[in-house]
Each structure stands twice: as structure tokens, then as C-alpha cells.
Amino acid sequence: MSWVRQLVLALAVVVVGCSKRAQLVPARQDAQQALERALADLEAKRYRQTQERLTFIIFNFPGSHQASDAQYYLAESYLRSQDYVQAQTEFEFYTKSFPNGRFQEEATYKQAAAYLRSAPGRVRDQSRALKAKEIVEQFLEAYPDSPLRGQAELLRAEVDERLAQKEFDAARLYYASGEYQAALVYYDYIAKAHPAAQWPGIHKYQFAVCRLETGDSARARLELSALAADAQEPKVKNLACAKLRRIH
């Protein structure tokens, strides 16, 4: 469908240029009325009807600012109805087809959000989460003073946590099988983006054990001692104390 809309938008320039001013006035009025009806449906959560009305505007009033707005609200309707795959497609179409559209900032942020929401669970492919991170970082660079900046930073943190959890899962599996060197590789990788001080206690403990089992005993003792003294989770504190007793 996207290529059809692109063709319609290209032809619109010719059509609008050849039309007489007297012919454009009622068309704009009709487009605005159609958009207002679509937005009323959107607020009423009548998403299918909203999408039909907005698609009608896009195809029948190409070249108008209502068509540009209709494309944004079409994407918004899919986002609100939790059809995240279609939402990210429609937001992407808006950002590329309407570079001067008044919703570029919002559409870029929401495109990133739609990519993240459409990503599968952390144990599966995370290409959509990575795409969300790419877009949200572009957003933060392009709109440093955006009122959405706070939300965008939270979104980026959520993406990072999602990606880190997948790495934590891999590290835990290697740790459980006694493959401490492999587990250490994953923990070191995670630590580059997420300081170990921010990790769940059990992963701090396992990270320290991996160091101990791969020869970095001095650093391991320091980390285990810190957990034995300060860990918030009783289970982690007990594990650290028990390990220290065994290695002293």
C-alpha cells in the first residue's frame, strides 16, 4: 500500500498546480470536515472507522495538509489499538513522506516506541529493539529541547534493559553449566553499558564468582565482601558470606 500512496502524493503536486483556486476552497473544507470526523472517531476509540476515514483523506485530498495530518493520525490509531507493527510502518511512512509535516518530532519518538512494543520477548530476536534504540538516539540528537525528551530517555533506558536482560540470560546459563569464562565474557559486555553497581544482586554475586573461578581472586574477594556487607537481598548476602568462608 505504501508505494501506492507515494504515487498519489507525487501526482498531487501536478493536480494541485493545475487546479483553479475556486476549486480548491470547497475541497479543503471537505478535507477538514473529514479529518475532524476521523479525530472524533479516534477519541471515541473507534479505531477501524478512524482508519477508514483517514485513509479516505490520504487518497482523496493528496497534497493537502489534512492528508499529512491524516497519515500521522493513522499511525497514532494503530499505536493506540496496540497494532505496533503497523504503527511503526505508518509512522515511518509519515516521517519519510512528510519531512515538513508538523508532527515530525512526535512521529519520530512514537516510531521508536512502536518498534520496541513490537519486539518479541527478550529470549528471541531483538532486531526491533535495536531499531528502536537507533531511532530514539536519532530523536535525542535531532530534538535536544523536545518536551518529549524525558520520555525518550526513559524509552532508551527500557531498550537497554531489554537488551541487557537477554545477555543476563546467556550469562546465567553459562554460569549454571560451570562455563565461567564464557559467563564472564557476557558479564563484561553488559558492564560496558550497565555498571555492575546497578545490577540485580544475584548477577553481582555470579560476576564475582566468575572472576574467582577465572583467576581474578583479589577482585572477586573485594566484590564478595561488599555483597556480604551491603547486599539488600538476604539470599545474595548469605551466598557471598558462604563463598568467602570457603576461600579464606
In a domain, residue 50? The reply is yes
In a domain, residue 210? The reply is no
In a domain, residue 203? The reply is no
In a domain, residue 56? The reply is yes
Confidence of residue 72 (pLDDT cuts 50, 70, 90): very high
pLDDT above 50 (res 24)? no
In a domain, residue 214? The reply is no
* Residue 32 or 1, more confident: 32
In a domain, residue 11? The reply is yes
In a domain, residue 16? The reply is yes
User: Residue 166's pLDDT is what?
Assistant: 79
Q: What is the pTM of this model?
A: 0.69
Per-residue pLDDT averaged across 109-116, rounded?
A: 96
User: Residue 59's pLDDT is what?
Assistant: 93
User: What is the tens place of the pLDDT at every residue in 199-213?
Assistant: 889 999 999 999 999
CATH number at residue 88: 1.25.40
How many structural domains compose the chain?
Answer: 1
pLDDT above 50 (res 11)? no
Least confident segment among 114-118, 172-176, 198-202, 211-215: 198-202
Per-residue pLDDT averaged across 147-160, rounded?
A: 92
In a domain, residue 189? The reply is no
- Nearest CA among 175, 226, 230 for reference residue 203: 175
Q: Mean pLDDT in the chain?
A: 86
Output the 3-class SS for 29-89: HHHHHHHHHHHHHHHCCCHHHHHHHHHHHHHHCCCCHHHHHHHHHHHHHHHHCCCHHHHHH
* Residue 44 or 231, more confident: 44
Residue 69: all three cell numbers together: 495530518
Range of the domain at 86: 1-102
Per-residue pLDDT averaged across 38-66, rounded?
A: 95
Question: For a pLDDT cut of 90, what percent of the chain falls above it?
Answer: 69
Rounded Cα distance, 128 and 209, in Å = 33
